[in-house]
Structure 1
Amino acid sequence: MRRFILIFLIVILCTFPAFAQENYCKDKEPWKEWDKLVQKYPHNMDIQMLHAVRIGFCKKIEDSTITFEVASDAFNHLHETVYKKDMAVKVREVLDEARDSV
């Protein structure tokens, strides 16, 4: 499960600049993917948080209280932070396993 989440986060992070060209809030396919992901992993707070932030930013864009560019940059920054945190956890797990096997 953690590998799937990591792969998902990597894919999203790598493809996010492509979304910066057009407003992803209006694209139904990514919403379907997010909905499936939050239902499949209801206890993963990183996924839940990113989903909630995405919803909030899209609402703010719709209300014209924030520009898409600002929301996109902020979401991208948050997503990168979550990704780095997850990678740090993975590194610690590998190091712990290596230390335990010695």
Structure 2
Amino acid sequence: MRIKIHCLLFLAIISLSSFHVLANATDSTPDNYCRDEASWFEWHSLLEKHPDDNSIIYLYALRRGLCSMVESGNLEVDRATDIFEKARQSVMDDINEKSLGKDSRKKQAL
């Protein structure tokens, strides 16, 4: 369980750095991190290290789909970011809930 929590903390960092929209000081167009090779490398590395983690696969697939829609012009970057961040937060909430449930069962057993 500890490995999964560390993995998800790493995932949270990646998601914030790879899909977060920052306004450029000289241009009002948001940065498009779908084109950021470094963040894709981080995602691929994460998938290689944890190929059976459904949470990582889910968020990776969602990111791929959202980026495809952004690149084709069917979705604005801001909206894609919002959708991804809500999904990421939902995954984090589920993991925290499961972790808390296991911790409370351990305490009851003692």
TM range (shorter): 0.7 to 0.9
From 53, 64, 70, give the equivalent of 2:62.
Answer: 53
Q: Does 1:7 align with 2:16?
A: no
Aligned to 2:52, what secondary structure does the other structure show?
coil
Q: Does the 8 A contact of 2:21 with 2:81 survive in 1?
A: yes
Number of residue pairs the alignment of both structures matches:
100
Structure having the higher strand fraction is 2
Q: Quote the residue 1:76 is aligned against.
A: 85
Sequence identity percentage: 25
Structure having the higher helix fraction is 1
Q: Does the 8 A contact of 1:6 with 1:83 survive in 2?
A: yes
Q: Does the 8 A contact of 2:66 with 2:80 survive in 1?
A: yes
Q: TM-score, structure 2 length as denominator?
A: 0.82
Distance 1:9 1:37 in 2: 8
Aligned to 1:74, what secondary structure does the other structure show?
helix
Q: Quote the residue 2:72 is aligned against.
A: 63
Distance 1:32 1:82 in 2: 21
| Alpha-carbon RMSD | 1.9
The structure showing larger relative contact order (alpha-carbon pairs under 8 Å, at least 6 residues apart) is 1
Task: Give the 4+ runs in structure 1 shifted more than 6 A.
Answer: none
Distance 2:6 2:18 in 1: 21
The superposition leaves residues 16-64 of structure 1 with CA deviations (integer Å, 9 ceiling, x where unpaired) of 5982112110111110010011111111111001000101111111100
Q: TM-score, structure 1 length as denominator?
A: 0.88
Unaligned runs of 5+ in 1: none
